[in-house]
Amino acid sequence: MKFKFLILVLSFVSFCVPSTFAQEQTPRIDTKDRFVPVIGRNGMVTSREKMATQIGVDILKKGGNAVDAAVAVGFALAVTYPQAGNIGGGGFMVIQLAKENKSIAIDYREMAPGGAHRDMYLNADGSVDEDRSKYTAKASGVPGTVAGLVHALKNYGTMSLKEVMQPAYNLAKNGFPVYNYLESSLNNRKERLSQNEAAAKIFYKADGSSYKYGEILKQDDLAWTLKQIMNGGRDAFYKGEIAKRIVADQKDHDGLINMDDMAAYKVVERQPIIGTYKGYKIVTMPPPSSGGVHLVQLMNMLENDDLTAMGHNSAALLHLYIESMRQVYADRSKYLGDPDFTDVPVAELTSKKYAQLIRSQIPMDRARRSSDIAPALSLLSESPDTTHFSVMDKDGNAVSNTYTLNFSYGNHTVAAGTGIVMNNEMDDFSAKPGTPNGYGLIGGEANSVQPRKRPLSSMTPTIVLKDDKPYFVTGSPGGSTIITVVFQSVMNALEFNMNALQSLAVPRIHHQWLPDVVMMEDGISKDTKDILANMGHIIAPMQITIGSLSSIMYRDGIFYGAADTRSMDAAAIGY
């Protein structure tokens, strides 16, 4: 009898303990869930490469905040993930500061050199010379990564530049074991990289053979560059010996970047795009990224539909996704560009009213043709080897950062004496309005080449707020697919209540207006594809992987991290 009474008392006490207390002590993982994310109680870092991820976690353990860790990861990826991690490219960073409840968007996108002009990639007959905008020195814009990372650290970090860069320097100077994905990547790009003497010297052995898994890759020139930045800060890169070496290499290879271009580079803090979806705030990147505008536009269009009732990845749901994607990429082709050079109708494109208008034009029983869809607003290509990382710290600060060289290894050249892989971001301009770029994206006059202009991007670093606190931090590489990849991950988390790993592990689709085909990953059922085909959707015959998300979810005092299951050697690490 006493035993039964004790059980009754304990049950009553357990019932009376505040639920928030219980939740703060126990991770929320459904025992039936096949997708179990990484769990942390003090912070979380997730990136495309695990050595860089660990460096970020080590910075958090030393007392650094999310910005300190993000900057450390950014420099580390330049060493360990050279196909996209960089100091020779540029990108975007979205920050949420907990104490100030402040959202920040840092634009450190590359800028066109002063000698760039509208027709610089056209042949005498008016056709586009694609090699010139992709694989030559003229393909490179002025790099923004160093300026962007230094700016973020100086204004929102707590540690010194030397502290956060030391791990990256050590990896470059002492070397690190070549891992699976890097071995494969260098082998796949060997033909082009070997054509550049400086690149071949770094990434291949003296006899021309490739590095094998587990062998040590050292980068002495890059170590020298990192040491210069550690000691001299931003000016060492944009005005000092590093700049001189970049400019000399540009001159030797008929490039355009000169010392004035380097010195003139500037970081811009912009007002983030902030949307709402069923009580959540969506904080994301404004132009010259098109990602934030179109992410919010997509979510606005579908906010009033009962998507949950349709079922995840059902034909009905995917039909709505495809038709909504079709419209936003049509709008992208006309309206988006560098806001410092062209008027971008951000407020109109992200308004609920506009979303309702274009949603009303989507039939539920049939597909439309892209040839019948035009940019609808009335004012009455990036590479799959972009990379993203996400960071959260114990104080509730969050960073979502996407940066890139454009193609894998940029233009496949290294600036001699620096170890810096140079970008080919000039291909993200519209070389000729109406002509597709390297990823099939159509651009207009708003994204034409002009001196000191930033090319349009699809990068979509995003932080979702719940009750004004970071709830879901995410982003992805993937060129033109970035917007739709991030969109689906956010919808998976918010609309279908998926955890951090499940939200990125399930199959994805993509449609970008032109070409008029639906890309699908393996895992979409044949029945679903047949229904969509009968509605008139054109399904691409080849199934591929789309994107590579790095996500963090924060619920009830627990960090849940996920690195994309599609990506070899990616890692989420918490502590």
Catalytic sites, residue numbers: 386
Is-contact 483 458, C-beta < 8 A?
yes
Q: What is the 3-state secondary structure (H, E, C) of 396-431?
A: CCEEEEEEECCCCCCCCCEECCCCEECCCHHHHCEC
Mention every residue, 6+ apart, whose C-beta is less than 8 A from residue 88.
Answer: 140, 143, 145, 405, 410, 415, 420, 421, 422, 423
Strand partners, 95: 104, 399
Q: Which two tokens stand for residue 18?
A: 């505040």
Return d(Cα 406, Cα 140) in angstroms, integer.
10
Q: Compute how many other C-beta atoms are within 10 angstroms of the C-beta atom of residue 210.
A: 15
Return d(Cα 407, Cα 306) in angstroms, integer.
38
Return d(Cα 464, Cα 529) in angstroms, integer.
31
End-to-end CA distance of the chain: 45
Q: Which two tokens stand for residue 383?
A: 């590479």
Q: Angle at CA 101, nearest 5°, toward 95 and 107?
A: 25
Strand partners, 94: 105, 400
Segments in 257-392 forming alpha helices (H): 259-264, 291-302, 307-310, 315-335, 346-349, 352-359
Length of the chain: 575
Q: Compute how many other C-beta atoms are within 10 angstroms of the C-beta atom of residue 499.
A: 23
Strand partners, 477: none
Burial environment of residue 23 by CB neighbours within 10 A (0 to 12, 13 to 18, 19 or more):
middle
Burial environment of residue 86 by CB neighbours within 10 A (0 to 12, 13 to 18, 19 or more):
buried
Return d(Cα 560, Cα 37) in angstroms, integer.
6
Is-contact 561 486, C-beta < 8 A?
no
Return d(Cα 359, Cα 346) in angstroms, integer.
18
DSSP character at residue 237: H
One-character DSSP codes across 350-376: T-HHHHHHHHTT--SSSPPPGGG----
Q: Which amino acid is at 367?
A: A
Return d(Cα 235, Cα 248) in angstroms, integer.
17
- State the chain's maximal CA–CA distance in angstroms: 98
Residue carrying the six token digits 């229904």: 531
Is-contact 424 464, C-beta < 8 A?
no
